[in-house]
Structure 1
Amino acid sequence: MRALILAAGIGQRLADAANNLPKCLLEFAGKSLLLRHLEILRYYGIASITIVTGYEHEMLTKAIKASGISNHVQIVNNPEYHKGSHISLLNGLSHMATEGDFILMDADVLYDHRMIDRLLNTAYMNCFLLDKHFIPGEEPVKLCVADNRIVEFRKQVSPDLEYDLQGESVGFFRFTSETAKRLIKACNDYLDQGEQQTPYEECIRDLLLETPQEFGYEDVSDLGWVEIDFPEDITRAEQEILPKIEQIN
């Protein structure tokens, strides 16, 4: 099993709350999100890790080397980090080994480590993580399920869409090597069409809607997590999620 972590973004919506740090270098209880990722992946025996950097590439590289786990990490710099995240996904996939399943992860998430266990032990070839307990709005990337099959994966959901269950995507996925090849093609297709600002989720969505039978999800509504996008997310991470995680650990 391999892991691909997307850590190239600027995090403009955090403003001064992050002191201009890459979001994955934000610390909670004295430990950065990045270091938490690396330690959790090592705990689960995932020794091949690719991290896509961009904003403050040198700072992130220094932090990775200081982690003590850098011998397992391949760093891929995306100088076009100010564009769509599909470019980061493409860069990361293009530098990874081609064989074997992999876990794709957003870097700006504080989470219960058992989410990785769910992905490692899922019965689905390609797997999303779904949390039913989310605050509706424009920001969450939503997963919609009908008859136990995912029918939508997007922030904006058509009001005409019929579904039985809706949840928020955690931003962690498990995919096969064949799906990786399809994702590379999807990313390149957007670029060939002149699409420079596409979120990587759109590439995944295209594959999902094309072959929905090849995708499934694990319900992680019982596990704590938060994506750090806004200053209030930092507060929630410190006051709500971190205590739950530390209790588990």
Structure 2
Amino acid sequence: MSTQIVILAAGMGSRLGRTLPKPLTELSDGRSIMQQQFDNIHHAFGPQANVTIVVGYKSEHIIEAFPSAQFVFNEEYDQTNTSKSLMRALQASAPGGVLWMNGDVVFDPAALVRAAKVVARDQSFVSINTEKVSDEEVKYTTDAEGYIKELSKTVKGGLGEAVGINYIARKDKAVLLRQLRRVADQDYFERGIELAIEQDKLRIEPVDISDLYAVEIDFAEDLERANLFV
């Protein structure tokens, strides 16, 4: 079975101030954010990679731009956060692990090449960057064995930031899905992961991509920074 890959793209992305869904924002090389992601996916997993996009806000524009993808709809995109978009994607997925990414991240193609090696081991992971720890970003700590212990924006003494590229293994998917169903509508998916670690002893490996670029696009200055790399 080919690797199942999900892009979370249901949100309104209002902070960037664009009329189209944020993943369709054009980069300086002429590609959209999502096209850059698709190119990276094909580079790491081949042209036949199975990609599902979770859509909501102005979904018709994304569907038109990427007609070969599969789609899952989050009709409550204006009332829910990424926890419920990922929940819908996992519910719709086939048996096996799922790699997913936020639809607003511009990242180095090598990030998925590195991720593919961990996917091949079917080990759940979160890609991280240890170069900076910003208050507004999702931060993490690790336990004595080096696995993720805490994962949220409110973590104190974070070792680095999560960059929005993650994988849940076949054996762990049901546990994460159960926790995603339980969390609040406005929670990020990281809350489901954190509860699964705390309550179900889920083991999530941090995959360090600090030497590679990965820029989450929230504001115009983020877009300017991403354009320095593409």
* TM-score of the pair, normalised by structure 1: 0.83
Runs (5+) with no aligned partner, structure 1: 160-164, 243-249
**Selected match of 1:229 from 202, 206, 218:** 218
Q: Are the counterparts in 1 of residues 175 and 200 from structure 2 also a CA contact under 8 Å?
A: no
Runs (5+) with no aligned partner, structure 2: none
Provide the residue aligned with 1:61 in structure 2.
Answer: 63
Instruction: Indicate the structure with greater helix content.
Output: 1
Cα offset for 1:198? Answer: 1.7
1:187-226 matched pairs, under 5 angstroms: 187-190=180-183, 195-212=184-201, 214-226=203-215
Q: Indicate the SS of the match to 2:198.
A: helix
**1:33 aligned onto 2:33:** yes
Q: Deviations over 1:102-154 (max 9, x none)?
A: 211111010001111111112571111110112522x1100112432322111
Q: Deviations over 1:151-201 (max 9, x none)?
A: 211101246xxxxx70110111121123222222112223xxxx3222211
**1:111 aligned onto 2:107:** yes
Relative to 1, partners in 2 of residues 1:176 and 1:115: Cα closer, same or farther, differing over 3 Å? same
Structure 1: distance between partners of 2:153 and 2:222: 18
Q: Indicate the SS of the match to 2:227.
A: helix
**Selected match of 2:227 from 196, 215, 238:** 238
Q: Deviations over 1:198-220 (max 9, x none)?
A: 22111111112235562211111
Q: Deviations over 1:7-37 (max 9, x none)?
A: 001111112xxx3121110111100111122
Q: Are the counterparts in 2 of residues 124 and 215 from structure 1 also a CA contact under 8 Å?
A: no
1:1-249 matched pairs, under 5 angstroms: 1-15=3-17, 19-28=18-27, 29-43=29-43, 44-45=45-46, 47-65=49-67, 70=68, 73-82=69-78, 83-97=80-94, 99-122=95-118, 125-137=123-135, 139-147=136-144, 148-158=146-156, 166-190=159-183, 195-212=184-201, 214-239=203-228, 241-242=229-230
Computing the radius of gyration from Cα coordinates, the structure with the larger value is 1
Q: Are the counterparts in 2 of residues 124 and 216 from structure 1 also a CA contact under 8 Å?
A: no
* TM-score of the pair, normalised by structure 2: 0.89
